[in-house]
């Protein structure tokens, strides 16, 4: 289920997560250039590329727990993460269940729900007009990161691609607003994020909250 694709470099751990079966054009650049990112980041960190199965609302918990065990088995006790799209939901989950594991997070076009359907996107847009979203809240075990984002205390860098959809841009903005220590940067889809990511790692793991 969890596959280690590449590992290179020395020093502090940095884990890049992709979905093996991801054919979504919105994430194709990130998927196709994941090995190049490993090469770039390995100049500064011990970069590890890990592939996950396609994430959905039924298997997210199993995948998250499996990845958590996988990292422990490979001796990764604390690391920084880079993920894109729906894979960012797994990083959110890990930061909630193991605070000491996650040092920093970099997310490209993040989602609060894995691969949201049109219905889910519609419900999300309607719920924003209600204080607690009570008329539309799900009573299932579907993952929704929004109610828990304020519990993520590590520094988070959110990269929003200028070519992303309006929904993706909206998700990025709302996730940053909900996180205590997060910053939003707009980038081009074909832009190498390595310089931004490496500079962001200089942020102290226990940095002041952005709204303090």
Task: Encode pLDDT of 41-88 as tens digits.
Answer: 999 999 999 999 988 878 888 999 999 999 999 999 999 999 998 899
pLDDT tens digits for range 4-14: 999 999 999 99
The two three-digit tokens of residue 152, written as one number: 């993520």
Q: Which residues, in sequence order, are bridge partners of residue 14?
A: 47, 80
Backbone φ, ψ for residue 46 (5° rounding): -85, 100
Distance between CA 209 and CA 91 in Å, rounded?
20
Per-residue pLDDT tens digits for 89-128: 999 999 999 989 999 999 999 988 765 555 555 555 555 5
| pTM for the whole structure | 0.82
Q: What pLDDT score does 149 carry?
A: 87
Task: Report the percent of the chain where pLDDT is more than 90.
Answer: 53
Contacts (Cβ under 8 Å, ≥6 apart) of 62: none
Residue 151 DSSP label: G
Dihedral sign, CA of 186, 190, 192, 193?
A: positive
Phi, psi of 75 (to 5 degrees): 75, 20
| Predicted pLDDT of residue 125 | 57
The pLDDT of 16-42, averaged and rounded, is: 73
pLDDT at 207: 59
Of 153 and 29, the one with more pLDDT:
153
Token pair belonging to 186: 């707009």
Average pLDDT of the chain?
A: 83
Indicate whether 158 pLDDT > 50. yes
Give the pLDDT confidence score for residue 136 in this predicted structure: 44
Query: Quick one: DSSP state of residue 116?
Result: -
135: tokens are 């008329």
List helix spans (H) across the chain. 28-32, 34-41, 60-73, 87-97, 118-127, 166-178, 194-200
d(CA 32, CA 52) in angstroms, rounded, equals 15
Interatomic CA distance for residues 51 and 67, integer angstroms = 10
What is the structure's pLDDT at 73? 96
Residue 140 has a pLDDT of: 46
């Amino acid at each position: 289920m969890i596959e280690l694709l590449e590992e290179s470099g020395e020093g502090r751990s940095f884990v890049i997560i992709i979905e093996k079966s991801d054919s979504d054009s919105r994430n194709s650049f990130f998927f196709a250039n994941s090995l190049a990112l490993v090469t770039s980041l390995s100049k500064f960190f011990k970069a590890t590329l890990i592939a996950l199965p396609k994430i959905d609302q039924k298997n997210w918990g199993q995948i998250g727990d499996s990845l958590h065990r996988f990292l422990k088995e490979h001796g990764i006790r604390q690391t920084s993460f880079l993920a894109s799209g729906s894979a960012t939901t797994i990083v959110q989950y890990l930061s909630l269940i193991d605070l000491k594991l996650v040092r920093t997070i970099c997310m490209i076009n993040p989602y609060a729900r894995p691969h949201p359907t049109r219905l889910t996107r519609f419900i999300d847009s309607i719920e924003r007009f209600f204080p607690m979203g009570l008329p539309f809240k799900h009573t299932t075990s579907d993952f929704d990161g929004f109610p828990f984002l304020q519990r993520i205390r590590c520094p988070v860098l959110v990269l929003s691609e200028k070519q992303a959809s309006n929904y993706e841009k909206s998700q990025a903005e709302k996730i940053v607003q909900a996180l205590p220590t997060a910053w939003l940067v707009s980038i081009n889809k074909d832009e190498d994020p390595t310089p931004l990511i490496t500079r962001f790692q200089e942020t102290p793991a226990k940095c002041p909250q952005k709204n303090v």
